[in-house]
Structure 1
Amino acid sequence: MKKLILLIIHLTIFVAVAVSQTTPVSATVDKQKILIGEQVQVYLKAVLPGNIKFPWPVVDTLPHFEVLTRSKIDTQQTSMGLLLQQTITLTSWDSGRWMIPPVVFGHSKTKAIPMSVEYSPMEANQPYHDIKDIIDVPSPIESNWYWYLLGVAVLIALFMLFFPPSNEKKEKVVKPAEDPFKVSMELIGKLRSSDEPKILYTSLIDIFRNYLLQKKDIHSFSKTTDDLARQLGELRLNGSDQLIQVLQRSDMVKFARYQPMLTENEQAIEVIKKNIISIENSSNAV
């Protein structure tokens, strides 16, 4: 008797666990009758109680139906568990009554859905239109466009005969290159210490690097601040320490979001200006 009671208890627990692991799933449609080529939406839903996991079914091919699109799997936490939803858009080109087969979710599956695919109904009240015969189209009027083209060619030939092109070569006006020192001074004069720091220091250092390129053929745009400092050491400039500080501050403003004071901005403009003047004077002295 005790063994029978224990067996009943074990069976009850096994059934309860099996039922608790069953995943509620469903498949519904927005319509069960469509015309050929018309779309129908299939809504797949599954509720996962607890930490149950299973692979989401991939609906790829269905008999008599064509899968047009599959939406992303939406998830939503509910009191019953995790709700998963997906919308699949189908169409059919086969007329008749068909079944959307069950979709398998792990150990659970949905019910089959009957569908009716029909042709567009004919309206008996509409008049019958017979197939029309081929309509003769009159031939287009023959165009004499080639006579106009010939006339234009003759006129061009006569014009070239009486007015031949001049063989005299026009002198090319060579525009003198702008003085890099003058250009640099004009650009520096437009800078203001109150400008946005990143724009101010970027413009200031670009003016200095461009002057070095034009005046001393020093290519520094692809160089780091340390590389440029080594190149400037060859020029033996007075106040080179202040110049290096300005270059380093520019890196801090552009890459470390350093916010300098207005006095620092004014000092940076003045240092770059003085060093350009110093390089210009030394070049003219040579």
Structure 2
Amino acid sequence: MLAQILPGKGKEVPVKFFAIFILALVSGLAAGNKTQTAPANEPSPTGPGYTLIDTGAVTITARLKPRRTTKPLTVGDQFWVELAVRHHRNIKVSEPFAESLGSFVILDRNLVTRYQGDTVVNIYELKLAAFAPGERALPLFLTTYPAEGKILAAHSDSIPVKVASVLPEDMKDINDLKPQIPFPNLLPLWLALGLLAAAVLSFVGIRLFRRWRKRRLEPALLPEPWEEALAALEAIPTNEWLSAGKVKRYYYAVSDVLKRYLTRRYSFPAIDQTTSEMRLAMKRKRIAEKADFIGFFQMADMVKYATYVPALPEMEQAAQEARELVNKTTPQPETVPPET
């Protein structure tokens, strides 16, 4: 079998020859790497281009800043770490970094530089958050600087951090998946029918409530003034009150019935007027029975507001006189003349 290596040349090279060429190239590269061995006195590097040391001209320390709450640190909560890098002013150092943040993420950072003689102190405040619960440890933060023709790296200590879970303690895992909805799915149809039924019931209920409230608010039809007055006079217990000596109560009741009758019959506020005021109002209304009404009210005033007590037959006749006054002023039905 032949393979096309260079398109457009028209020459075919056997696949076997191509495989031998690739194998030889890989073998040569492996042999070249074996001949380049590191000197025995050179420290083993911990990263590309720098050597990790424990003590040197540059130091870096890390500490957790106190939190403003006593609640445990949970997944997603923010906390601050302070890094202090100390070095001589003539030494150039890099900004702190970590080879791997693991389960942490840096959200923000601030830098404050201070001087202590020839020593420079760079204070880095890092805002971090954890996205995995459990017993965790902050990564080593490194800062590199040149020394004796090499790049050295100072590192901070690892700080343990406990991150609590936000899930309930009794929750073992996420909820199971819900079963598949059978097809056709009738749930939307049932929801639409339910909403329609609720709308119809609401409409009917509102109509019934408005009708009931309208009937409740409508005032009851009052009887005719003369019918009301005759019924009220009939309901007064004349014999009972007079035998019990309740003379003033009796005259108050009879005169109030007549005042209400005049108020409704002739449309003036007789129920709130004195006898003198009623005389003027009845004169303006040109009521023919004015003298009879005023005479009755004057007699009633003498009993109500003075010490006058009529004889028993006269008192019993008071209710009857009131009935006669009502009957005299009751409108008579119109008579239709006979046809000729």
* TM-score over 0.5 for the pair: no
- Relative to the length of structure 2, the TM-score reads 0.33
Larger gyration radius, structure 1 or structure 2: 2
Q: TM-score, normalised by structure 1?
A: 0.39
